[in-house]
Structure 1
Amino acid sequence: MREVLNLVHDLNDKQVGVRSLADPLPINTADKGMGRIAFLLLALFAEMERTFTAERAAHARAVAEASSRRIRRPVAHPADKIEYARLLKQQGSSLGEIATKTGIPKTSLHRHLAVSGPGETLNGTY
């Protein structure tokens, strides 16, 4: 909020106004009256929503931890599918074939199969 206030004051000192084109209300910081107040109120509401969102997320994490639930991102591709993809790659299958058989997108296959050791890439060359 302080940064928004500072920005508006700095721009105002340079005779630059901020006007919202997307909002139905005529918000223009170059106006001395209600335009500036409306802009600052919108900034205040944005700050409040940001604070409330952080509080809700912290509460959800606390509830999940209290009930011993996992609070990480869900696993996109199970380990057994990744191992199957590695086996198919060792047998010489192409990425397209592996993607079709495992249901894992090629971009994810690149990430999971790309580096087996230092300096080694998907096809074994640099």
Structure 2
Amino acid sequence: MELGYARVSTVKQDLERQLDALTAVGIALERIFVDKKSGAHTDRPGLNALLEYAREGDVIVVHTLDRLGRTVRDTLNLIHDLTERGVGLRNLADPIKVDSSNPADPMGQLALVLLALFAQMEHTYMLERAAHARAVAARNGRRTGRPSVVDPDKLTYAIHLRDTEGLTMSEIAAKTGITRATLYRHLPPRPAEPVTAGGQPEPRA
């Protein structure tokens, strides 16, 4: 069975383009799991429900791979975990086509090798950027990792901006003066949202 996954980064963005692409290849809306939050969030109820629902022999279809993970490494790890479970993954619109449901396809395997290479490069660059930031902070006499104190009224306002007005973390940070990192640490989880685009998927054993 083919299952779809679609994600946008904020509640103000529209899933329609991704849903159209997934339904165009024959996936019913009740089998398309959705999230409206940034890939930086580890708590994505739609993706979690999809991974729990998927069974051996299923194929998860996404419009583009960046819908799945916040980094190439995250996406590659997810593909590996799915492969171990006998669940395939394919994308529709990326320049590099991935179809892990067909291990005999040499181009699909090449795509996974390229993803692994990109993941290693990404990890190396991340470590270099972090080391550079620490060095700059030390030269300027700043401490890193200092705990922050958040005004409760500002935090309440930030929750309103996120859950009611659908603002991004960057927009909330600009309005409240609270850094994005502090917002991610202190904001409570979002209210529960529907996990599919069209009602509940059929029950599975």
What TM-score results when the alignment is normalised by the length of structure 2?
A: 0.29
Considering fraction of residues, name the structure with more strand: 2
TM-score norm. by structure 1 comes to: 0.43
Flag the structure with larger Rg.
1
User: Hey, which of these two has a bigger chunk of helix by percent?
Assistant: 1
